[in-house]
Amino acid sequence: MPNKPAILDTRTVARSRLFRIEAVELRFDNGTQVEFERMRGSGRVGAVIVVPVLRDDTLVLIREYGVGVERYELGLPKGRVEPGEDLLAAANREIMEEIGYAAERLTPIRALSLAPGYFGHHTQVILAEGLYPQSAPGDEPEPLEVVERPLDELEALVMEEEFSEGRSIAALYLARDFIRRRQGGSEAR
């Protein structure tokens, strides 16, 4: 594996309420110097995406407006981890706010990056099981629609047009395979 390039300079070139864009000057081992831009969140805390599964292997999803794609999207509960907040506490808070459940068991599965060439951010996939009704006020501008789907219909779900967010798709396959391995079942095909 090659050595990581040397960071010669980093400077902020733009900032918003949620993000900042940095110019990063790099020098590679072969002597090539280039400047890349990357987007950073408001902090290095990260985010969680939660796969809530009811006792009968039913997924609990949300439908919310995605301004980036200008339509309603079906996906998983997710959100920012607040400074000083534990990942599992953040996951439980998000599902209480977004779907009206809390979880008896929260299991971190793995962290996902999103466009690592441009975005310095990781989202931790959390499996939430043993769900029970428990709600908390959230920060959404409108009530979210809660949608239930059987986990064993995952292939049909990910082919639906309104279910297009890559993190949600990856998280569902990771969670399904984690559950199968734990149960001693077959791996995903």
| The predicted structure's pLDDT at residue 189 | 44
As a whole number of angstroms, the distance between CA 21 and CA 24 comes to 10
Would you say residue 145 lies in a domain?
Answer: yes
Would you say residue 116 lies in a domain?
Answer: yes
User: Of 1-15, 98-112, 166-180, which range is least confident?
Assistant: 1-15
pLDDT at 147 over 50: yes
Say yes or no: 87 and 36 in one domain.
no
Would you say residue 103 lies in a domain?
Answer: yes
Would you say residue 74 lies in a domain?
Answer: yes
Say yes or no: 33 and 90 in one domain.
no
Would you say residue 1 lies in a domain?
Answer: no
| pLDDT band (50, 70, 90) for residue 181 | very high
Say yes or no: 91 and 155 in one domain.
yes
Say yes or no: 98 and 17 in one domain.
no
Say yes or no: 22 and 87 in one domain.
no
Report how many domains make up the chain: 2
| pLDDT band (50, 70, 90) for residue 44 | low
pLDDT at 43 over 70: no
Say yes or no: 17 and 73 in one domain.
no
pLDDT at 121 over 70: yes
Would you say residue 188 lies in a domain?
Answer: no
| The predicted structure's pLDDT at residue 83 | 86
pLDDT tens, 62-97?
Answer: 999 998 899 999 999 999 898 899 999 999 999 999
**Domain span holding position 120:** 47-183
Give the domain CATH number at 80. 3.90.79.10
pLDDT at 45 over 90: no
Of residues 107 and 39, the one with the higher pLDDT is 107
Whole-structure pTM over 0.75, yes or no? yes
Say yes or no: 26 and 91 in one domain.
no
Would you say residue 189 lies in a domain?
Answer: no
Mean pLDDT across the chain: 91
| The predicted structure's pLDDT at residue 186 | 53
Of residues 45 and 48, the one with the higher pLDDT is 48
The pLDDT > 70 percentage for the chain reads 95
pLDDT tens, 148-159?
Answer: 999 999 999 999
Would you say residue 18 lies in a domain?
Answer: yes
